[in-house]
Structure 1
Amino acid sequence: MSTRYLESLFNPESIAVIGASERADNLGGMVLRNLLGGGYPGRLVVVNQSDYENVHGVPCVRKVSKLDFSPDLAIICTPPDTVPKMIRKLGECGVRTAIVMTGGMSRTHSKTGQPLMYSVRDAARETGIRVLGPNTIGLMVPARHLNATYAHMGAIPGRVAFVGQSGTIASSVLDWAFARGVGFSYFLTLGDGMDIDHDDLIDYLAQDTQTRAILLHIENIPNPRRFMSAVRVASRTKPVIAVKSGRVPESEWFTHALPAGIKRSDPVYDAMLQRAGVLRVDGLGQMFDALETLTRMRPLRRESLAIMANGVGPGVLAVDRLADLGGELAELSEDTVRELGELLPPYWTRKNPIDLNYDATPELYGKAIKILAKDPNVANVLVMYAPTLIEDSLQIADSVVQASKGTRLNIFTCWLGQSTVMDSREEFYRAGLPSFFNPEKAVMAFMQHVRHQRIQRLLTETPESFTDHFADRANTRKLVARALRDGRRHLSNREARRVICDYGINTIETVYCDDVEEVLEVFAVERRPIDVTVIHEDVCYPFLDLSPTQRRYKGTVKKLNSEQVIIDSCRFLMDEYREHFPKSGFLGFAVQRSYQHVGGIEFSVGITRDEVFGPLVVCGAAGAQINIMTDRQIALPPLNMVLARELLRRTYMYKLLKEHSLKPEEDIRAVSETLVTLSQIVIDIPEIKGLEISPLLFNEQGAVAVNIAIDLDEHPVKPIIQPYPRELEEWLVLPKSGRRVIIRPVLAEDEPAHRLFHEHQSPESIRYRFFQYRKHFSREDVAQMVQIDYDREMVFIANAPREDGEGEETLGTVRTWTDADNLRCEFAVMVDDRMKGEGLGVALMQKMIDYCRARGTMEMIGNVLPDNRPMLQLAEHLGFEIKYNPEEEVMDLRLVLNEPQKDWQKERLGKGGHL
């Protein structure tokens, strides 16, 4: 990912249109007309091999080599086979960015046999030019009068950025947005995305102060890890709303092999977008409806909804849709019911939704809103109106607008109809109130706001500590390494059981037998009922998948209580095995005593691995009577307890657990702990390709694994979210106090200790760190500090055991934020006031310097208050260049970590460009 030269793309001072002519159907000519019509203020030139003096009044030259200047942006509209050579020539001439509008390059092949678009990519990489496309509609920046597209209409200026992949979809978005009065800060499509991709643009837009929201149309994501890292940064500061097309196999344009245990790729995208903080919607209509509520409504204090209308019917439709989407109605207080009763007919329902009656006046609407504003149970109100002969819709709209001013309520409206309510809708638009044509769309848009806020909450949740990140799993590593060394691609049932036992997951006591005689010997020990499972090579692989046309395979027989029954059952199991798996080698029988008290609702949990998205954690139903694939839900590792609970909550089995378990909270926690542990297993031992526990049952100790299967891969795909980097942990002993301190990356679970650390510092230390006095740090403030993306930022904390023996305390912290191009990182450091003279600040800073230097960052920068002598002395000791900044009245600190090797790096660092 890189924002290199994107400023030249979005704000070019000069543009060359290559291949433009005055023919009506000429692609370059269309682009040139849009540039001229949009009032582009920069320098324009046309390149066309025909001997034109000018095209549409713009000077023309025959070749790129004939240009007397190097344009910031080149727009290429020439035939496919000319494009790679043109890109190379432009890059060699010093052109920084190019838009390739030529289509068909994915289906036109070069002499090497690969599609021409890859030749474009190779030429761009070799010469350093940035390329948007091929097959892009182009780019609009309305505020800068830049319309470098062949679109049928321009965009109006606004605060929303749109990044699409399809030009035809983008054209319809323009029409749609214009009709709704939505303006854009940036509007473009990626096309084939050979160079500039979603993550590059999202990084740029995340920093852009003119962009309040980002809309994405996604067909595929070539590099999920880079995409995830960029979007997680952007979604923390502005809404990101996405439409992902290709939801079913028949509509997927880019397909790849599905991982074991998963039938469609769409749920994987769902899990990724949710984890990134993106609100995914089902279509363009929902995208703009969600944009209405997310940008025009305040954050939700409550998720419940109050509904009022001038009739029963609209309210009922709204309630039905709310129930379908899992929403809830606000419960009106007694005072609210009493006050509304003084205004409404005696036969009103005295509950939510509120029927104002068909003859409701503007005054009644206004008074009802003011009554609801006083109700502590009401935070969000949907105000609806159906046209009547009695009242004027515009007057009622004006009354709603006036009543909404100064209120704490989130108010949005639904004026049903079309022709007679357009003026009212315009009134709402000018007042900043979201408005919709029908109850279903209004409620859906509200629930999108609810969903977005829930997703955002997950980004800042700080979970309780559960997984032991620091435990030694050497035995499991040796076991897996030995299996791979022996050429095996799976673990035996016995080995798989040892792996999860090593990680603390309870299993049913199991005895392995080579034949029926050994099974009978196990039974003879206590002569109590046993369960017998046939073990063969295929069942050692997770997510055993039979064809839907096959008869169900039975691999276990339960509660066998006599020798003859055991013999007959083992014979039956062997017949089943031979019929369904004739080529699978027989490995014996697994025997479990039936009196082991396990039972309850059966879960199937595990790990599978996608070739693009890496490892995935799955959770859902198990058992013969359940459609396992329908209930299977997906999440991306690493997981913590909050994320594990969210994954579990999405399953149907969660509802059964809540309703039928004797100990629902204990069982929910047990399943969540198991999911977190599985997540840790795949991070610790990446060679584990897949792992399935089916079923996962319960006993008095918690969750218990019955059957386990694990397969292996010597070349695993890494997680797309950087897990906790355990290798960066370091221990040291403080020279004065002798305290043993661990310096390690921060974890989300560190939030309580991190908050105490900040609250215990002196006012002066807080001022030095935050450039202002702060008395209080909320949980949300500190959550932002500890919930980090290790790909983008790093926080090292110094922790030591508390003197009272109650857990750990934080003694110091240093953090850096790194730009998308890994050019600069900005640091901040703070050490506990009690640690003065211990050298902890030096140790933290040196560790961060070493880390940033090793990852290739060019410079470390920071700002220090002029009176912060301790920090200035530390910076001088570490070799920082220190200069006074009179504009900001701070000391600027700069430390060179690595020398830039490329011209663009030198240019950006020399200019001090934006990060």
Structure 2
Amino acid sequence: MSTRYLESLFNPESIAVIGASERSDNLGGMVLRNMLGGGFPGRMVVVNQNDYDNVHGVPCVAKVSQLDFTPDLAIVCTPPNTVPKMIRKLGESGVRTAIVMTGGMSRTHSKTGQPLMYSVRDAARETGIRVLGPNTIGLMVPARHLNATYAHMGAIPGRVAFIGQSGTIASSVLDWAFARGVGFSYFLTLGDGMDIDHDDLIDYLAQDSQTRAILLHIESIPNPSRFMSAVRVASRTKPVIAVKSGRVPESEWIPHDLPAGVCHSDPIYDAMLQRGGVLRVDGLGQMFDALETLTRMRPLRRESLAIIANGVGPGVLAVDRLSHLGGELAELSDTTIEELGKLLPPYWTRKNPIDLNYDASPELYGKAVKILAKDPNIANVLVMYAPTLVQDSLQIADAVVQASKGTRLNILTCWLGQSTVMDSREEFYRAGLPSFFNPEKAVNAFMQHVKHQRVQRLLSETPESFTDHFADRANTRSLVAKALRDGRKHLSSREARQVIRDYGINAIETVYCDDVEEVLEMFAVERRPIDLTIVHEQVCYPFLELTPTQRRYKGTIKNLNSEQAIIDGCRFLVDEYKKHFPDSGFLGFGMQHSYQHIGGIEFSVGITRDEVFGPLVVCGAAGAQINITTDRQIALPPLNMVLARELLRRTYMYKLLKEHSLRPQEDIRAVSETLVKLSQIVIDIPEIRGLEISPLLFNDQGAIAVSIAVDLDEKPSRPIIQAYPRELEEWIVLPKSGKRVIIRPVLAQDEPAHRAFHEYQSPESIRYRFFQYRKHFSREDVAQMVQIDYDREMVFIANAKKEDGDGEETLGTVRVWTDADNLRSEFAVMVDDRMKGEGLGVALMQKMIEYCRSRGTMEMVGDVLPENRPMLQLAEQLGFDIRFNPVEEVMDLRLVLNEPEKDWQKERLKKRGG
């Protein structure tokens, strides 16, 4: 993940086109004609071994070595076998970026047998040049008059960036966007993506002030961790909308090896994009519909929708679609119904959707919108109109536009038809109101806005506090380590139960017996009815895939209450086991008392591992009578209670739990807690490959596991989202007060204490920290401070117990924002006014300096108001270079942490004032 040299790609002053000629079918010639047609103002040169004087009027040389200047960007359009050598030459000559348009390099092999595209990657890495492609359509920057593509048409300037993978899809997007009047800030495809990838580009676009939204067409994500880190940063500041193609195995370009317990890869991408704050849509049409609502509508105050139409039919279609998508109709207040009743016939329905009748006039439309604007229950209105003989569609459109001005309503419009309503749609476009041709598309677009806002809430939601019930983790680690040393790939049923108990997950009491005689001995102790399960090697592996015959296997017999019944039961279970699992080693019997106050709805929860996306947490239905994989939902660890509830909410079993559980809220919490604990298990013990609890039932103590299976892998796997780095916690004692303080990374649940910390400080301290006076910090403000991506940001807080012993309070905080290339971290620090003179600021800063230095960050910088003498003294004590910035009228602070080793690092730091 790096934005190194991307400025040269997006804003080149000079370009060399390698391999262009005047042949009509020559790829480089097509690109050159598009650049000339677009009016690129920079310097251009062609490199062609035929040594033409010029190509289409652009000067030409035979070799790269003959160039009398070093271009910022090279566009390579030569045959596949020449490209790796050409990239090496360009890199060695100092060219910073290259676009390789040559295709077929994934299917053309080098002498070593690997596809040539990997030789391009290797040449780029060795020489430091950045490469877009191979097999890319190229790049457009309309505002710079740069059309370095072979596309059939150019893009109009705008504020939307498009990153695709397929050139043919990109061409259709251009057509589509032009017809809708959508302009682009940047337009490009990755092609094979051997160097520059999604995450590099998203990092660049997240910081680009000319880009208001990012559109992604994704076929695959080769580095999910880097992608997730980049997209979580970008989606906090601008909408990111994605189409993921290859949703089923038959359409996947690169087949995905599925993890155990998962039957399709698409839900994994779904979980990833949702966790990254990305709005996923089902196609290009939905992409632009969603773009229209997200960029033209305000944030939603409510998720319900009011509907106005000049007839019953359009309203019914809209309601049907809204219901199908899980949307909600707004409820009209009594005052609204009364006011509308004065305008409408006495036989109107007095409910939403509102039928204004066939002959509804512009005045009636305008008055209806204004009435709804006064209703506190109404935040979003879909206004529809079907063409009639008695009214003019443009006049009605104008009335809606005028009525919408000055209201808090989100208004989207649907003028049905096409030929007679185009002028009205143009009117809406000019007024900034989204408009659609039919009710289904309008409702789809509205629900995309709802979905995006929900996804955004997951990025900034403050989780409720979750008590750490976990017991002896060291015991579990040693248990797993011993099993691996013994060469085992799974834990025994007894060991698997020990793992989940160590993490606070209750399991039904089970006694393991080696044979029938031992079962009889244990039964004789209390002589209570028992349930008996046969244990063999294969059932110790989670997410066991059964053949149709094995699905009829009966591995448990319940309510055995005599010695003979137990003997007969054991014999039956052994026969069943030998019949269905003849190659699986016998391990004994598991004995449970039949009456243990458990039952209810059966869940299957667990952990599985994907080779690309790492550990996954799964949740869904359990039971022999259903296809459990159809309800299995996926989430990425780490989880907190909010994210766990969201995972549970997506399952069908959640609906059953709400409707049929005797204690729905308690059981929902119990399942959510279990999911959080499973997430923690895989973070603490990354050698656990899979863990399945099936079924998970309920008793009066909460959730309880019945059957547990755990398998292992010597190679650990880490989540693609960095978990809370517990190893960075440190305790100190303040010298004056003797107060014991923990300095640790911030957690989302620190939001209440963090908010109180900021609101208790003096106005002057707030101004020193934020460069302005602030009296109030909203929940959203503070949530953004504590919901951080540990890959990109770090916040250390100093917490201590409150004097009354009721919880913790925050006494100080230091944070850094690090750029994508890990060159520079910008810091901000603040200490409670009561702690002045305790050395807490020094402790926090030293902690952060050591952290950034260990990550390889080159330097730490900050801005301080000239009158903030305490901070300037602290900076001087820590060795910062301090200079006055006359332009910003602040003191610039800079501390070198590591020396740059590469030329591009030195150049970038120098350019930034280093």
Normalising TM by the smaller chain, what interval? over 0.9
Q: How does 1:809-824 map to 2 (within 5 A)?
A: 809-824=809-824
Partner of 1:149: 149
Q: d(CA) in 2 for partners of 1:605 and 1:443?
A: 34
Q: Secondary structure of 2:552's partner? A: coil
Partner of 2:620: 620
Partner of 1:58: 58
Q: d(CA) in 2 for partners of 1:401 and 1:580?
A: 70
Residues 368-377 or 565-574, more deviating: 565-574
Partner of 2:825: 825
Q: Deviations over 1:791-827 (max 9, x none)?
A: 0010001111111110111111100000000000000
TM-score (norm. length: structure 2): 0.99
Q: Secondary structure of 1:507's partner? A: coil
Contact 1:467/1:677 (8 A) holds in 2 = no
- Alpha-carbon shift at residue 519 of structure 1 (Å): 1.6
Partner of 1:896: 896
Partner of 1:432: 432
Judged with a 3 Å threshold, the aligned counterparts in structure 2 of structure 1 residues 335 and 6 are, in CA distance, closer, same or farther, namely same
Partner of 1:840: 840
Q: How does 1:302-701 map to 2 (within 5 A)?
A: 302-466=302-466, 468=468, 473-548=473-548, 550-701=550-701
Q: d(CA) in 2 for partners of 1:795 and 1:397?
A: 51
Aligned-partner residue type, residue 537 of structure 1: E
Please tell me whether residue 93 in structure 1 is matched to residue 57 in structure 2: no
- Alpha-carbon shift at residue 717 of structure 1 (Å): 2.1
Partner of 1:222: 222
Q: Secondary structure of 1:209's partner? A: coil
Contact 2:228/2:721 (8 A) holds in 1 = yes
Contact 2:881/2:895 (8 A) holds in 1 = yes
Residue segments in structure 1 that go unaligned for 5+ positions in a row? none
Q: Deviations over 1:205-245 (max 9, x none)?
A: 00000000000000000000000000000000000000000
Partner of 2:241: 241
Q: Secondary structure of 1:506's partner? A: coil
Contact 1:513/1:591 (8 A) holds in 2 = yes
Judged with a 3 Å threshold, the aligned counterparts in structure 2 of structure 1 residues 667 and 469 are, in CA distance, closer, same or farther, namely closer
Q: Deviations over 1:497-548 (max 9, x none)?
A: 0111111111111111111122222222222221111101111111111134
Contact 2:857/2:897 (8 A) holds in 1 = yes
Please tell me whether residue 708 in structure 1 is matched to residue 687 in structure 2: no
Q: Secondary structure of 2:160's partner? A: strand
Q: Secondary structure of 1:488's partner? A: coil
Q: d(CA) in 1 for partners of 2:220 and 2:17?
A: 29
Please tell me whether residue 789 in structure 1 is matched to residue 823 in structure 2: no
Q: d(CA) in 1 for partners of 2:420 and 2:547?
A: 57
Q: d(CA) in 2 for partners of 1:534 and 1:469?
A: 31
Contact 1:467/1:680 (8 A) holds in 2 = no
Aligned-partner residue type, residue 145 of structure 1: H
Judged with a 3 Å threshold, the aligned counterparts in structure 2 of structure 1 residues 443 and 463 are, in CA distance, closer, same or farther, namely same
Q: d(CA) in 1 for partners of 2:598 and 2:404?
A: 57
Q: Secondary structure of 2:108's partner? A: coil
Judged with a 3 Å threshold, the aligned counterparts in structure 2 of structure 1 residues 151 and 453 are, in CA distance, closer, same or farther, namely same
Q: How does 1:14-25 map to 2 (within 5 A)?
A: 14-25=14-25
Partner of 1:30: 30
Q: Secondary structure of 1:139's partner? A: strand
Partner of 1:259: 259
Contact 1:612/1:717 (8 A) holds in 2 = no
Aligned-partner residue type, residue 128 of structure 1: G
Q: Deviations over 1:802-859 (max 9, x none)?
A: 1111011111110000000000000000111111111110010001000000000001
- Alpha-carbon shift at residue 551 of structure 1 (Å): 4.0
Q: d(CA) in 2 for partners of 1:750 and 1:548?
A: 50
Q: d(CA) in 1 for partners of 2:311 and 2:447?
A: 23
Partner of 2:110: 110
Partner of 2:854: 854
- Alpha-carbon shift at residue 714 of structure 1 (Å): 1.0
Q: Deviations over 1:696-753 (max 9, x none)?
A: 0000000001111111111122110000111111111111111111111111111111
Q: How does 1:878-893 map to 2 (within 5 A)?
A: 878-893=878-893
- Alpha-carbon shift at residue 913 of structure 1 (Å): 7.2
Q: d(CA) in 2 for partners of 1:505 and 1:711?
A: 18
Residue segments in structure 2 that go unaligned for 5+ positions in a row? none
Contact 2:267/2:634 (8 A) holds in 1 = yes
Judged with a 3 Å threshold, the aligned counterparts in structure 2 of structure 1 residues 470 and 568 are, in CA distance, closer, same or farther, namely closer
- Alpha-carbon shift at residue 467 of structure 1 (Å): 5.0
- Alpha-carbon shift at residue 470 of structure 1 (Å): 8.7
- Alpha-carbon shift at residue 95 of structure 1 (Å): 0.3
Residues 503-512 or 125-134, more deviating: 503-512
Partner of 1:76: 76
Q: d(CA) in 2 for partners of 1:620 and 1:819?
A: 39
Partner of 1:204: 204
- Alpha-carbon shift at residue 564 of structure 1 (Å): 2.2
Partner of 2:737: 737
Aligned-partner residue type, residue 361 of structure 1: S
Q: d(CA) in 2 for partners of 1:106 and 1:608?
A: 31
Aligned-partner residue type, residue 622 of structure 2: A
Aligned-partner residue type, residue 5 of structure 2: Y
- Alpha-carbon shift at residue 164 of structure 1 (Å): 0.2
Contact 2:137/2:191 (8 A) holds in 1 = yes
Q: d(CA) in 1 for partners of 2:326 and 2:840?
A: 51
Q: Secondary structure of 1:600's partner? A: strand
Q: d(CA) in 2 for partners of 1:363 and 1:853?
A: 67
Q: d(CA) in 1 for partners of 2:83 and 2:527?
A: 80
- Alpha-carbon shift at residue 426 of structure 1 (Å): 0.9
Q: d(CA) in 2 for partners of 1:581 and 1:865?
A: 74
- Alpha-carbon shift at residue 626 of structure 1 (Å): 2.3
Aligned-partner residue type, residue 361 of structure 2: T
Residues 267-276 or 724-733, more deviating: 724-733
Q: d(CA) in 2 for partners of 1:429 and 1:568?
A: 78
- Alpha-carbon shift at residue 418 of structure 1 (Å): 1.1
Q: Secondary structure of 1:305's partner? A: strand
Q: d(CA) in 1 for partners of 2:913 and 2:410?
A: 40
- Alpha-carbon shift at residue 675 of structure 1 (Å): 0.3
Contact 2:687/2:717 (8 A) holds in 1 = no
Q: d(CA) in 2 for partners of 1:841 and 1:529?
A: 65
Q: Deviations over 1:583-618 (max 9, x none)?
A: 111000000001100011000000001011000000
Q: Secondary structure of 1:423's partner? A: helix
Contact 2:469/2:503 (8 A) holds in 1 = no
Partner of 1:906: 906
Q: Secondary structure of 1:557's partner? A: strand
Please tell me whether residue 213 in structure 1 is matched to residue 245 in structure 2: no
Judged with a 3 Å threshold, the aligned counterparts in structure 2 of structure 1 residues 469 and 709 are, in CA distance, closer, same or farther, namely same
Q: d(CA) in 2 for partners of 1:331 and 1:593?
A: 52
Contact 1:339/1:371 (8 A) holds in 2 = yes
- Alpha-carbon shift at residue 51 of structure 1 (Å): 2.8
Residues 723-732 or 517-526, more deviating: 517-526
Q: d(CA) in 2 for partners of 1:455 and 1:616?
A: 19
Contact 1:224/1:612 (8 A) holds in 2 = yes
- CA RMSD between the two structures: 1.0
Contact 1:18/1:46 (8 A) holds in 2 = yes
Contact 1:541/1:711 (8 A) holds in 2 = yes
Aligned-partner residue type, residue 851 of structure 2: Y
Judged with a 3 Å threshold, the aligned counterparts in structure 2 of structure 1 residues 446 and 24 are, in CA distance, closer, same or farther, namely same
Judged with a 3 Å threshold, the aligned counterparts in structure 2 of structure 1 residues 238 and 363 are, in CA distance, closer, same or farther, namely same
Q: Deviations over 1:10-38 (max 9, x none)?
A: 00000000110111111000000000000
Aligned-partner residue type, residue 845 of structure 1: M
- Alpha-carbon shift at residue 54 of structure 1 (Å): 0.5
- Alpha-carbon shift at residue 563 of structure 1 (Å): 2.2
Partner of 1:866: 866
Please tell me whether residue 43 in structure 1 is matched to residue 57 in structure 2: no
Partner of 1:757: 757
